Amino acid sequence: MKILVIGSGGREHALGWKLRQSPLVSELISAPGNPGLAELGRCVPVKADDAAELSAFAMREQIDLVVVGPEAALAAGVADRLAQIGIPCFGPSQAAAELEASKAFTKDFCARHNIPTADYKVFDDAIYAKAYLGEREPPFVIKADGLAAGKGVVIAETRREADAAIDEILFLRKFGTAGQRIVIEDFMPGEEASFFALCDGETAIPLAAAQDHKRAYDGDKGPNTGGMGAYSPAPVFTDAARDQVMEQIIMPTVRGMKAEGRPFKGVLFAGLMITPNGPKLIEYNVRFGDPECQTLMRRLKSDFLPTLLAAAQGDLARAAPLEWDARPAVTVVYAANGYPDEPLTGSVIRGLEEAAQVKEVVIFHAGTKRDEEGLLRAAGGRVLNVTALGDTLRDAVTRAYAAVNAIDWPGGFCRTDIAWRALD
């Protein structure tokens, strides 16, 4: 089979790395790909959100399965275009991707289908929004409705801070049109976990859970990022929690989306709060988490290709069960100095081959490029994802940092405390 992976980050490198191991794969192509993916097959210079060009390419090359990494490609309708020309695509339609693109849609959907999440209200008028705060208890959670690169959420301790957040989003349009509406919801106490399930429009199967670190610096301090590191499994996420989430959150979502005429195919990424009253949904994403995906791919023992194909073709009920390595995996994100505000790109990275010699370590490329001389250089914010398996989580962490230390890259930094909560 010829596989096309869409995207250019560490998540896509990890998916490509896993799929390339399948005996069913004859060729792995990525668009636009990165130097890591280039070691696994051809990279073509088509942007991940250029739906027209991607589907034309898939047709020309007679691709057997397209695997979409980033949400931008899904929001641009890549899956819809591929459906029109009959090419199987792992990833939801534009209409089903609303689960990530609109928080108001998702909250209303949860209300319609009795899915446990925080109480909320949607507003487009600041006066009514501020009045609503008077009926609730702090801390207040204020969210821009649309896609805001993970930055559209404010947790306000006081009415004054909450008022300011409402004004910034609705009046000052801090997040542009993503802030035409806001969601105000109750604060949920607890520990967070990311859970992933594969869906084929009719049914769903659980993958595994992971936890990531969103803040830039040690001790969970500093600005929010796309994620500075992750580990899987997530100790807070017990088998009982998984069963409860499948029954109360994932399956009602799959049935509800089908009933509402937007069947969901692809991976549902449930951001969960493990509260004293059980797991509740914080938000949905319609793609794999990055860097959570890297830890999952490192732990997955089965061939992933038949399962992704089954999800794309509505055939998951017949897919063979997936087998996971019981050993924990950890990913440390090595980011360019200045990330997340102004990452400094262009610096030279050396020593990856030596670093990859550390036992059970795989290094995924997230934001790199090769220059004309073949030197590897930083080309993004999150640049490398150093991923290790260990007999214990401590073991995995030790190996990942041993590999980090073997990389010669003065232009980068990483957190030194990935997985601290689970190690405590």
Q: Which is nearer to ligand GLY, 123 or 334 (CB)?
A: 334
Distance CA 239, CA 258 (A): 27
192 scored as a contact of ligand AMP (CB under 6 A): yes
Smallest gap from Cβ 285 to ligand GLY, in A, equals 6
138 scored as a contact of ligand AMP (CB under 6 A): no
Return the range that interacts with ligand AMP (CB under 6 A); candidates 185-193, 288-296, 315-323, 350-358.
185-193
79 scored as a contact of ligand AMP (CB under 6 A): no
Cα–Cα separations (whole angstroms), residue 397 to 10, 131, 221, 351, 423: 18, 48, 20, 19, 10
Beta strand 265-275 with 412-413: parallel, antiparallel or unpaired? Answer: unpaired
**Biggest distance spanned by C-alpha atoms of the chain:** 63
Which are the contacts of 30, defined by CB distance < 8 A and separation ≥ 6? Answer: 4, 5, 6, 7, 8, 12, 16, 37, 38, 40, 41, 42, 43, 44
Q: By CB under 6 A, name the one of 187, 217, 413, 420 that touches ligand AMP.
A: 187
187 binds, among ligand GLY, ligand AMP, none (CB under 5 to 8 A by kind): ligand AMP
Residue nearest to ligand GLY (CB): 227
Q: By CB under 6 A, name the one of 30, 211, 285, 387 that touches ligand GLY.
A: 285
Smallest gap from Cβ 68 to ligand GLY, in A, equals 14
Judged by CB under 6 A, the number of residues near ligand GLY is: 7
Distance CA 339, CA 50 (A): 26
292 scored as a contact of ligand GLY (CB under 6 A): yes
Cα–Cα separations (whole angstroms), residue 365 to 47, 140, 161, 228, 282: 17, 38, 39, 14, 29
- Say how many C-beta atoms besides its own lie within 10 A of residue 324's C-beta: 16
Q: Which is nearer to ligand AMP, 34 or 285 (CB)?
A: 285
Q: Tell me the Cα Rg of the chain.
A: 21
Q: Which is nearer to ligand GLY, 133 or 386 (CB)?
A: 386
* Footprint on residues 199-238 left by ligand GLY (CB under 6 A): 212, 226-227
Smallest gap from Cβ 93 to ligand AMP, in A, equals 22
- Say how many C-beta atoms besides its own lie within 10 A of residue 134's C-beta: 7
282 binds, among ligand AMP, ligand GLY, none (CB under 5 to 8 A by kind): ligand AMP
Q: Where are the beta strands (DSSP E) in 25-176?
A: 27-32, 65-68, 89-90, 120-123, 140-144, 153-156
367 scored as a contact of ligand GLY (CB under 6 A): no
One-character DSSP codes across 162-211: HHHHHIIIIIS-TTGGGGSSEEEEE---SEEEEEEEEEESS-EEEEEEEE
380 scored as a contact of ligand GLY (CB under 6 A): no
8: which 2 tokens?
Answer: 């250019």
Helix (H, G, I), strand (E, B) or coil at 217: strand
98 scored as a contact of ligand AMP (CB under 6 A): no
Query: Tokens 């796309």 appear where?
Result: 226
Return the range that interacts with ligand GLY (CB under 6 A); candidates 197-205, 243-251, 287-295, 311-319.
287-295
204 scored as a contact of ligand AMP (CB under 6 A): no
N-to-C CA span, the chain: 45
212 binds, among ligand GLY, ligand AMP, none (CB under 5 to 8 A by kind): ligand GLY
Residues β-bridged to residue 90:
67
Which are the contacts of 348, defined by CB distance < 8 A and separation ≥ 6? Answer: 375, 376, 377, 409, 411
Residues 268-297: x/- map of binding to ligand AMP (CB under 6 A)? ---x----------xx--------------
Cβ contact 368:379 at 8 Å: yes
Q: By CB under 6 A, name the one of 64, 185, 200, 303 that touches ligand AMP.
A: 185
Return the range that interacts with ligand GLY (CB under 6 A); candidates 75-83, 236-244, 285-293, 307-315.
285-293
* Footprint on residues 148-177 left by ligand AMP (CB under 6 A): 150, 153
12 scored as a contact of ligand GLY (CB under 6 A): no
**In the complex, which residues of this chain contact ligand GLY (CB under 6 A)?**
212, 226-227, 285, 289-290, 292
**In the complex, which residues of this chain contact ligand AMP (CB under 6 A)?**
118, 141, 143, 150, 153, 185, 187-188, 192, 271, 282-283
